[in-house]
Amino acid sequence: METQKNVHALINGEKPVLIDFFAEWCGPCKMMPPILKQIEEHFGDRILVEKVDVDKHPLTAQYYQIQGVPTLMLFKSGMILWRESGVIPAPMLIKILEEVLKSVEPAAGVNSDENQDENKMINRFF
């Protein structure tokens, strides 16, 4: 990521974004690129994967209270959906992300207009 402004734009976007907060000097962080590549291959365009160097973006790291690297955080629409520090093997990370995304993605075949109409009806009663 080039600027903190870009980081915040991605975090606030509609598409889920997995951010790897890392540092060049961090040994375990060097294990993350092949894991993140597998995440990108598995999820395709369902999720963005980005890296943020905590030494180049200290304000962002401070804002999200990054105290250890690597730290992975999943965001959508400005909300933190999931967070974990340390190296996580790709199969485990895929499983975790699938579960988290399942809870925030609309179910396949569900008409969002129908959902909105239903929510409006429910809200009238409460």
Token code pair at residue 118: 């239903």
pLDDT class for 47, splitting at 50, 70, 90?
A: very high
Whether 94 contacts 36, CB under 8 Å: no
Separation between Cα atoms, residue 59 and residue 38, nearest integer Å: 29
Instruction: Encode pLDDT of 15-43 as tens digits.
Output: 999 999 999 999 999 999 999 999 999 99
| pLDDT attached to residue 107 | 63
Catalytic residue among 7, 17, 29, 97: 29
Is 120 tagged catalytic? no
Helix axes 32-43, 90-104, angle to 10 degrees: 40
Are β-strands 17-22 and 48-53 bridged in parallel, bridged antiparallel, or unpaired? Answer: parallel
Instruction: Encode pLDDT of 79-94 as tens digits.
Output: 999 999 999 999 999 9
Q: Which residues, listed in sequence order, are joined to residue 83 by a DSSP beta bridge?
A: 73
Is 26 tagged catalytic? yes
| pLDDT attached to residue 125 | 36
Catalytic residue among 1, 10, 23, 26: 26
| pLDDT attached to residue 97 | 98
Over 80: is that where the pLDDT of 108 sits?
no
CATH number of the domain within which 21 lies: 3.40.30.10
Domain count of the fold of the chain: 1
Question: Which residue range(s) make up the domain with 25?
Answer: 4-125
Whether 100 contacts 75, CB under 8 Å: no
